[in-house]
A and B are shown apart, each in its own frame.
Chain A
């Protein structure tokens, strides 16, 4: 039984090449987009990519938290995969924090126009929002939440590794369940109060600081959560293809596929809830958000977004067979990831650089982030055994049958 993952040289090379492309794009971006207005696209691209990729690796921690609290035993067989993905968070979270700090304190007012204090004085709406939307609150909130995400991610990972060294007794089994439940419960509260509420307001919604939507955070959460599941599927399929994870079979893949199916529909539900109420009420301060997206240059992207992230997964994942086949699941996972990356693109783009452009720069950065995630996750996977051998639910995972 291949229990210990060894990073293949080819994977390492691939990740370095991808990271190289990302860095190269970043360098080209520095020269291509400069000046007061020109640098807007430079920063918007970094903001879009770093927030998207940070939140999708954080979704793995949420996956661990949610399945642990629900006492779901089926995922134990591949539990080390979301664990390893979540361990990319310290690096990606650090990058995100650095980026937003540079934007806020670098005075990039074309990204967040509320950072210009002089401008806020003459703006009634922003003056009202100033008590919340200011540099201090922003910095404090980001520092605390990113710090807490990283803390809980590392804590859950370390607990899982530590449990491998315990004796396999009923008492230790109970202890594993108890302390995982407690820590995951605490994490879910933090996660909900940040990603389910305030983080997307500050990170992305404050680009359009005059506008607000109460669905925005859940919408962002749904987008990153379904992408996070797609990422887990990709790594599980990769390991399976290379002969690891012998206990994982189509049954587990099928359940992951159900998650991807269900949360694609959940994302659509939130997409529609946000759009329909604004469309129906038809109030100018709310419809302004959809003006460039539905009636402007971004119209094509806006509806393509709905097709790729709703129609395609809905029809594709409806059949049982597609959810039980590794190749088809890899294909749809890549579609979902690309679709939700595009979703983030149309969330950031219209409010910053405005015009619809061919996203070579944004896509190049995304390639870099993908390389970084592959590098970090494969490194983490190789650090410990691929199966948490003492977990009381391991047997449940082995005999799992959907």
Chain B
């Protein structure tokens, strides 16, 4: 959690956004994040983000579910409380398969959803700074972190030259904090450009 300075630019179209992302990265600026109203195919590649490991996590959750189901059922029916059900063996694998399958799916699905929320830092009462209220509506918003080497004025004019609009500077918390959007920040009434949260 750290409060940082950002230069924020909005773009009206993804056709403008993509070349802008490429140019900003080539120029060597550090993109904090890009906020878009809808998922954009290929933006993660353009931003140079690494491939997600969510599927590996899903596989691990899945085999955990498989193991849980098989070990639990075989423990119950073999050592804890052996019952003769229709003359079937005490370890009736075919009868265990549907439950094993369901538990595999359940573990991997729930686990992946929770992991996804963790990776995206989504949870009740977890609040993050919103750089522009229209980033969830119709604008593509790019936040560039101001580092020690960044010349802010140069960056602003550079962003303007590649199609950025409503360019401004913001000093904001880069991570998340506990709070409530309805209390802490009245989003659509705020006129502040310099939003400071800490």
CB-CB nearest in chain B for A275: B94
| Contact between chains at B94 and A279 (CB < 8 Å) | yes
A272 contacts B by Cβ under 8 Å: yes
Quick one: given A318-B59, A401-B41, A401-B42, are A280 and B97 in contact (CB under 8 Å)? no
Whether B97 pairs with A276 at a CB distance below 8 angstroms is yes
Cβ contact within 8 Å between A280 and B95: yes
Q: What residue in chain B is nearest A281 (Cβ atoms)?
A: B86
A276 CB contact (under 8 Å) in B41, B55, B95 = B95
The number of chain A residues with a CB under 8 A from chain B is 9
Inter-subunit contact A276/B94 (CB<8 Å): yes
CB distance from A268 to the nearest CB of B (A): 10
The prevalent SS among residues of B at the interface is helix
Inter-chain CA distance A401–B86, complex, in Å, is 52
The interface size bin for chain B is 10 to 19
B66 to chain A, nearest CB (A): 12
Q: B residues 121-149 with Cβ under 8 Å of A?
A: none
Task: Give the distance in Å from the alpha carbon of A275 to the alpha carbon of B94 in the complex.
Answer: 8
Contact A280 B42 (CB under 8 A): no
Q: Which residues of B contact A279 (CB under 8 A)?
A: 94
Please measure, in the bound complex, the distance between the C-alpha atom of A163 and the C-alpha atom of B50, giving whole angstroms: 43
**Interfacial chain A residues near B94, Cβ < 8 Å:** 272, 275-276, 279-280
Tell me the bound Cα distance from A280 to B59 in angstroms: 30
Q: How close is A399's CB to chain B, nearest CB, in angstroms? A: 10
Q: Give chain B interface residues in 82-111, CB to chain A under 8 Å.
A: 86-87, 94-95, 97-98
Bound-state CA distance A318–B42 (Å) is 22
Tell me the complex Cα distance, A272–B98, Å. Answer: 10
The answer for the CA separation of A340 and B59 in the assembled complex, in Å, is: 26
CB-defined contacts of B41 to chain A, threshold 8 Å:
401
In the bound complex, what is the Cα–Cα distance between A26 and B86 (angstroms)? 49
| List of A residues within 8 angstroms of B42 by Cβ | 401
- Chain B, Cβ-Cβ closest to A399: B41
A15 CA to B94 CA, complexed, in Å: 43
Question: What residues of B have a CB within 8 angstroms of the CB of A276 in the complex?
Answer: 94-95, 97-98
Residue-wise interface mask of A (272-286) relative to B, using a CB-CB cutoff of 8 A (1 in contact, 0 not): 100110011010000
Interface contacts beyond A318-B59, A401-B41: sample of 14 additional A-B pairs, CB < 8 Å, sorted by A? A272-B94, A272-B97, A275-B94, A276-B94, A276-B95, A276-B97, A276-B98, A279-B94, A280-B94, A280-B95, A282-B86, A282-B87, A320-B55, A401-B42
Going nearest first, the 10 A-B pairs with the smallest beta carbon separation are A276-B94, A279-B94, A401-B41, A272-B97, A280-B95, A401-B42, A275-B94, A276-B97, A318-B59, A280-B94
